[in-house]
A and B are shown apart, each in its own frame.
Chain A
């Protein structure tokens, strides 16, 4: 039996039938690269979905690839500022290319970003990369007003990774028209049930739009057609997001009842500080995959993606049984 996948922040349901059929059309045309006109259609659809001029939409096979490209382009002459914890692939990219890097700890118990520290770090040419909501804490760490204040700083480039936007409902995307030094990255992977198709995109302020003009990637036809169809089925996506949010809140309540150290989030996962030794392996043996995030958090932190109700129930049952055993 396949394990229950609660480790990658994917949506648990397959894509809607119309999206699968669209991908099949792409399959039949796999001998061809994607049409530029279809790529433009996708930019238009994403522009409509986000309310941003399609000319500012930059397509990428996964938002992490776009983030890596931006880090490579802009970090060699700049100090990179990011958060700890944060989305690690971006940090690793910056480590290879940045002139220097500062990571600001989001401390317990609420993982709040200290704006005073952040602003004191912004000296000279900087590339600030933040994920909002933050992964893996799941906290919304900055407001649109605070972002706007930062964007007025001279010589600052700001990348806002909004991979979990649809769950949190908070964005600063509208600022890309006004501020040339802002890039917002998003993903189609998660909420549209298209993780296996890999599609991310950027909403670029003018500096990023110009510099990324050569960043052109022919997306696979399957991905392209599937994404176009998915963007035509926004209602299904929104319904699914609502179900996940309800499940997230139900899980949170249940775990709190059992006195689990659990942190509510604005995303499609929960953060747990566990006292159970070898919890990953123990859950894996019970057919459940979760994410260990102790590489950038105090000991014992795990991240659990919200799955289908029945999957979540199995997780709750197994986790609470393990907790009982460990006491």
Chain B
């Protein structure tokens, strides 16, 4: 019997029906005042009722509305861990997950939105696999299953045995989002079962017949072969760049920027100042970055280290973009918003993103 954690964010998704984009901070109280109804019990029930083999699972869950109530209603095997406050918070989520880990769970199912995914990442990182049941107002992170039913399918496949893959957790600024400004940055990665057709973003992979891992391998092999001698390469965050550094045999800061010269790591996790210092010594330089999944931002949302000054001293022609074929193929355009209109303008126009061995998708960079 597999030990599966189940944690439900009871307020996730409540803003949607009353026109609020998210329930961070005071928005939850506002949503309640506006008559919003909980969404997560429905999603959780849908998830549980679609499990093919619930008798093969021992759930570990949080008290009451954070999981226990739904499991009890469906008469499933479960153990309640810890205690929660009357008015639940991210702190409850983190505390309960820690207790679940101590119970040696094999995988954590969480029901919520991007905010919940961030809480899960803060507590769990890449320690254990997760399945995200989408229940937020807007879901931008690619860690989520397509639907609660798809999440059930993913758990069934996990029970049968599947590989795992890393997917993005994004940090969306809800205040900005309420003003219709999409401000997102890469927050981290969570491990999810590799069931491409059931993932928010991964579903695109099914049609190409190439797994995300094979695709990353293809892209990084091409980049490694194309890297020029006597050029300083600044490698942005993300798993595609990690795959490249594995090819080169150097370590990579997953969420940071590392500098490589002639196949050797010359600096890791550099900030803007470090980069400008490096530029004093290396006249030939290139930046390789991955567009942010879901919204296509290349600069101005993720790596602030690539400041307007760094970018203007690098030049558009020395910026290489690379990413997952399936994620890039469904972007309408790329975005830059560095805070410096001149720099944004210089980066605008058509730009190719390497998505396979010798394969490029050309998109417009908008600002």
Residues of B within 8 A of A100 (CB): 358-360
Chain A nearest Cβ from B201, distance in angstroms: 9
Chain A nearest Cβ from B157, distance in angstroms: 17
Contact (A108, B332) CB under 8 Å given A102-B360, A114-B350, A277-B147? yes
Distance in angstroms between the alpha carbons of A251 and B231 in the assembled complex:
57
Interface flags for B194-232 (1: CB within 8 Å of A; 0: not) read 000000000110111100000000000000000000000
Interface positions of A from 89 to 109, Cβ below 8 Å from B: 92, 95, 98-105, 107-108
Residues of B within 8 A of A126 (CB): none
Residues of A within 8 A of B362 (CB): 84, 102-105, 117, 121
Contact of A105 among B208, B359, B361 (CB under 8 A): B361
Does any Cβ of B come within 8 Å of A88's Cβ?
yes
Distance in angstroms between the alpha carbons of A114 and B349 in the assembled complex:
11
Does any Cβ of A come within 8 Å of B356's Cβ?
yes
Q: Are B326 and A105 interface neighbours, CB within 8 A?
A: no
Distance in angstroms between the alpha carbons of A78 and B204 in the assembled complex:
27
Q: Are A101 and B329 interface neighbours, CB within 8 A?
A: no
Contact (A278, B359) CB under 8 Å given A105-B364, A107-B333, A298-B331? no
Residues of A within 8 A of B125 (CB): none
Contact of B147 among A117, A120, A278, A299 (CB under 8 A): A278
Chain A nearest Cβ from B112, distance in angstroms: 16
Contact (A295, B329) CB under 8 Å given A92-B208, A102-B352, A117-B350? yes
Does any Cβ of B come within 8 Å of A294's Cβ?
yes
Q: Are A84 and B329 interface neighbours, CB within 8 A?
A: yes
Residues of A within 8 A of B329 (CB): 84-85, 103, 295-296
Does any Cβ of B come within 8 Å of A227's Cβ?
no
Residues of B within 8 A of A103 (CB): 329, 359-362
Does any Cβ of B come within 8 Å of A297's Cβ?
yes
Distance in angstroms between the alpha carbons of A33 and B62 in the assembled complex:
70
Interface flags for B134-171 (1: CB within 8 Å of A; 0: not) read 00000000000011011000000000000000000000
Residues of A within 8 A of B350 (CB): 114, 117, 120
Which one of B147, B209, B360 has the highest number of Cβ atoms from chain A below 10 Å of its Cβ? B360
Q: Are A294 and B330 interface neighbours, CB within 8 A?
A: yes
Residues of B within 8 A of A107 (CB): 332-333, 363-364
Q: Are A297 and B147 interface neighbours, CB within 8 A?
A: no
Interface flags for B298-335 (1: CB within 8 Å of A; 0: not) read 00000000000000000000000000001001111100
Interface positions of A from 236 to 276, Cβ below 8 Å from B: none
Q: Are B326 and A295 interface neighbours, CB within 8 A?
A: yes
Residues of A within 8 A of B330 (CB): 294-299
Q: Are A295 and B361 interface neighbours, CB within 8 A?
A: no
Chain B nearest Cβ from A263, distance in angstroms: 13
Q: Are A105 and B358 interface neighbours, CB within 8 A?
A: no
Contact (A88, B332) CB under 8 Å given A102-B360, A103-B361, A114-B350? no
Chain B nearest Cβ from A279, distance in angstroms: 11
Distance in angstroms between the alpha carbons of A239 and B59 in the assembled complex:
62
Q: Are A298 and B358 interface neighbours, CB within 8 A?
A: no
Residues of B within 8 A of A297 (CB): 330
Interface flags for B330-367 (1: CB within 8 Å of A; 0: not) read 11110000000000000000101000101111111000
Q: Are B358 and A101 interface neighbours, CB within 8 A?
A: yes
Q: Are A84 and B359 interface neighbours, CB within 8 A?
A: no
Contact (A88, B207) CB under 8 Å given A296-B329, A299-B330? yes
Contact (A95, B359) CB under 8 Å given A295-B204, A295-B326, A299-B330? yes
Residues of B within 8 A of A278 (CB): 146-147, 149-150
Residues of B within 8 A of A295 (CB): 203-204, 206-208, 326, 329-330
Chain A nearest Cβ from B261, distance in angstroms: 26
B352 and chain A: residue at smallest CB distance: A102
Residues of A within 8 A of B150 (CB): 278
Interface positions of B from 97 to 145, Cβ below 8 Å from A: none
3 A-B pairs with least C-beta separation: A295-B207, A100-B358, A295-B204
Q: What are 29 A-B contacts defined by CB distance under 8 Å?
A: A85-B329, A88-B207, A92-B208, A95-B356, A95-B359, A98-B358, A100-B358, A101-B358, A102-B359, A102-B360, A102-B362, A103-B361, A103-B362, A104-B362, A105-B332, A105-B362, A277-B147, A278-B147, A278-B150, A294-B203, A294-B330, A295-B206, A295-B207, A295-B208, A295-B329, A296-B204, A296-B330, A298-B332, A299-B330
Q: Apart from A102-B362, A295-B330, what are 10 other A-B pairs with CB-CB below 8 Å?
A: A92-B208, A95-B356, A95-B359, A100-B358, A102-B360, A105-B363, A105-B364, A117-B362, A294-B204, A298-B331
| Chain B contacts to A: CB under 8 angstroms | 146-147, 149-150, 203-204, 206-209, 326, 329-333, 350, 352, 356, 358-364
